[in-house]
Amino acid sequence: MMKNIFAFESVEELQKYSADIEHLNEKLNAYQVLLEKEFGLEDLPKAIVWTSKEIATTIFSDIPVPAFTNEVRICMSPSVQEWREFHLNQLEGKRNERIEKYYNSITLDHVFCILAHEITHHLELFIEDFDDERENSIWFEEGMCEYLSQKLTLSAEQYEELVAVESEMIELFQKKYGQHSLDKFGAGSYEATSLTAIMINYWRSSKAIKYIVEDCHGGDIHKVFALYHEWDKTGRHIPLTEYFGVKAF
């Protein structure tokens, strides 16, 4: 069982988020059972560190995303408001009423998708370990973590709305930040100075995985994982985007 560790600057701040943290833990327990049953989840991180965006991104990490994981622990901001502001910052000042309205109205359900994404990284089905260079196929892992955490936890309506918003974000920023191949999505991607330059890799990867799973393999996620492992075992002779037919994403 994962421990809960709290890293807030005051008791009042902890009390402010205690109910939301309890709710997120309840949802996580149910999602964990699903991953164990359907995808063989075995090894969990030892703890979740609940903290603020500021502490997550300045003390625990220098990555500008207040949610991340390694073999030992998940670090996560439980604040709906902080995540609303995080997503709005991705617009880089562009005015888009539809997207702004969407991000201003996200709920704890959407925050849970982010937490679910982090625990999905712990599936043994992924090839790379946390201490690997995490190059060449990181788009597959990040995209699959996005896809599973969203598809399996949101309602169908919530999921389709999220897909539509992220597709629009890709259109807005593809020319500026998304000209590179998804195969270039690796550890170095997080050194980008722009939050949007980082996040467009996730949107594009998630869109590619959705296409692979739903359009190419009839929703059979296990088949997609099997092909991914076949690509690895046979020597990775071609880029993974070419192997799955998503070079254009």
Please give the tally of structural domains in the chain: 1
Does 69 fall in a domain? no
pLDDT tens profile 48-78: 999 999 999 999 998 999 999 999 999 999 9
**Geometric angle at alpha carbon 78, from 153 and 61, rounded to 5°:** 110
User: Which domain range does residue 221 map to?
Assistant: 126-249
Q: Tell me how far apart the alpha carbons of residues 81 and 231 are, in angstroms, rounded to a whole number.
A: 41
pLDDT tens profile 189-239: 566 679 999 999 999 999 999 999 999 999 999 999 999 999 999 999 999
Does 14 fall in a domain? no
Say what the pTM is: 0.95
Q: Where are any strands of DSSP class E within the chain?
A: 3-7, 47-51, 67-69, 73-76
Q: Tell me how far apart the alpha carbons of residues 199 and 81 are, in angstroms, rounded to a whole number.
A: 19
| Confidence (pLDDT) at 89 | 97
Does 203 fall in a domain? yes
Taking a C-beta distance cutoff of 8 angstroms, is the pair 45, 122 a contact?
A: yes
Does 84 fall in a domain? no
Does 34 fall in a domain? no
Does 54 fall in a domain? no
Pull the structure tokens for residue 240: 């993974």
What burial class does residue 103 get, using C-beta atoms within 10 Å of its C-beta: 0-12 exposed, 13-18 middle, 19+ buried? buried
Q: Report whether pLDDT(132) > 80.
A: no
Pull the structure tokens for residue 150: 């969203």
Taking a C-beta distance cutoff of 8 angstroms, is the pair 164, 103 a contact?
A: no
Does 48 fall in a domain? no
**Geometric angle at alpha carbon 92, from 87 and 95, rounded to 5°:** 90
Rounded mean pLDDT, 128-138: 69
Does 6 fall in a domain? no
pLDDT tens profile 150-184: 999 999 999 999 999 999 999 999 999 999 999 98
**Geometric angle at alpha carbon 97, from 95 and 101, rounded to 5°:** 120
| Confidence (pLDDT) at 61 | 93
DSSP structure class, residue 182:
G
| Confidence (pLDDT) at 134 | 54
